[in-house]
């Protein structure tokens, strides 16, 4: 969220992001490298370097990010080592149908939320709680 809340084209140093998000710098480096290779963030090396979103926050859906880290293939999944269900197993067909519907509903919901929407919600919650605004410079 730190990158999504930053002004457009602003590069944020990894140390500042790690401190604001209260996560270890090494762990954040791994996450940012993964996000960079997926095309979600860009990085620049050097004294004036840092990280920023590769696209505007309103064009990156939560679904995009979730599916990058955790591919969602619940509907057609069968347990490792198990035999696929027999074509005449109505119970399994019904369960697959339920999982497929649940997955479709979840993906549709995640698609409606962008990183910008999450930032707006977080700002509103901070305002309601009376939290001071926190900017990384």
CATH code of the domain in which 38 resides:
1.10.10.10
User: Which region holds residue 130: left if phi is over 0, alpha if psi is between -120 and 50, else beta?
Assistant: left
- Domain extent for 53: 1-60
Each residue of 43-65: pLDDT tens digit?
Answer: 999 888 999 999 999 999 999 99
Tokens representing 24 are 């270890």
Q: Is the dihedral of CA 43, 46, 50, 53 positive or negative?
A: negative
Total number of domains in the chain: 1
Residue 101 covered by a domain:
no
Check residue 131 and give its pLDDT.
72
More confident residue, 136 or 117: 117
Domain assignment present for residue 119? The answer is no
Give 50's strand partners: 44
In a domain, 79, yes or no: no
- Give the total residue count for the chain: 137
């Amino acid at each position: 969220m730190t990158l999504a809340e930053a002004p457009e084209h602003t590069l944020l140093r990894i140390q500042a992001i790690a401190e604001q998000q209260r996560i270890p710098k090494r762990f954040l480096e791994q996450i940012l490298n993964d996000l960079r290779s997926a095309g979600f963030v860009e990085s620049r090396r050097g004294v004036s370097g840092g990280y920023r979103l590769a696209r505007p926050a309103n064009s990156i859906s939560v679904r995009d990010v979730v599916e990058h880290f955790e591919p969602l293939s619940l509907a057609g999944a069968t347990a490792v080592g198990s035999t696929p269900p027999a074509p005449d197993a109505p119970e399994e067909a019904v369960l697959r149908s339920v999982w497929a519907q649940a997955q479709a509903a979840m993906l549709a919901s995640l698609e409606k939320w962008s990183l910008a929407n999450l930032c707006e919600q977080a700002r509103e919650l901070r305002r309601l709680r009376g939290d001071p605004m926190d900017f990384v410079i």
